[in-house]
């Protein structure tokens, strides 16, 4: 998994250390929602059953390099 230097640093924080690589890859491949930021970065959300939370993963413009990942307390799944 490719990641930025920022993510390499920030994933050492206690609140981020629990985020598993398989969850990030799952968000990459099968997200619930996708948004493109004004700067071109890509946000993807995935519900992680093991912890009962929504994970937001921010990728660089290439869609493969992880820049950030965290549990998003404010995410609300849109009804279908």
What does pTM read for this prediction?
0.92
Residue 42 belongs to some domain of the structure: yes
Specify whether the CB–CB gap between 53 and 30 falls below 8 A. Answer: no
Residue 48 belongs to some domain of the structure: yes
Residue 77 belongs to some domain of the structure: no
Residue 60 belongs to some domain of the structure: yes
What percentage of residues in the chain have a pLDDT greater than 90? Answer: 90
Residue 80 belongs to some domain of the structure: no
Residue 76 belongs to some domain of the structure: no
Give the mean pLDDT of 5-19.
94
Structural domain span for residue 47: 5-71
DSSP per-residue codes, 15-79: HHHT--HHHHHHHHHS-SEEEE-TTS-EEEEEEETTTTEEEEEEE-TTSSSEEEEEE-TT--PPP
Number of domains observed in the structure of the chain? 1
Instruction: List pLDDT tens digits, range 18-45.
Output: 999 999 999 999 999 999 999 999 999 9
Residue 78 belongs to some domain of the structure: no
- Residue 80: what pLDDT? 56
- Residue 77: what pLDDT? 77
């Amino acid at each position: 998994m490719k990641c930025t230097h920022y993510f390499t640093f920030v994933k050492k924080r206690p609140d981020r250390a629990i985020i598993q690589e398989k969850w990030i890859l799952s968000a990459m491949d099968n997200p619930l929602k996708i948004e493109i930021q004004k700067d071109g970065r890509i946000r993807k959300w995935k519900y992680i059953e093991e912890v009962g939370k929504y994970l937001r993963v921010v990728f660089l413009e290439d869609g493969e390099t992880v820049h950030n990942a965290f549990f998003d307390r404010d995410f609300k799944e849109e009804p279908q």
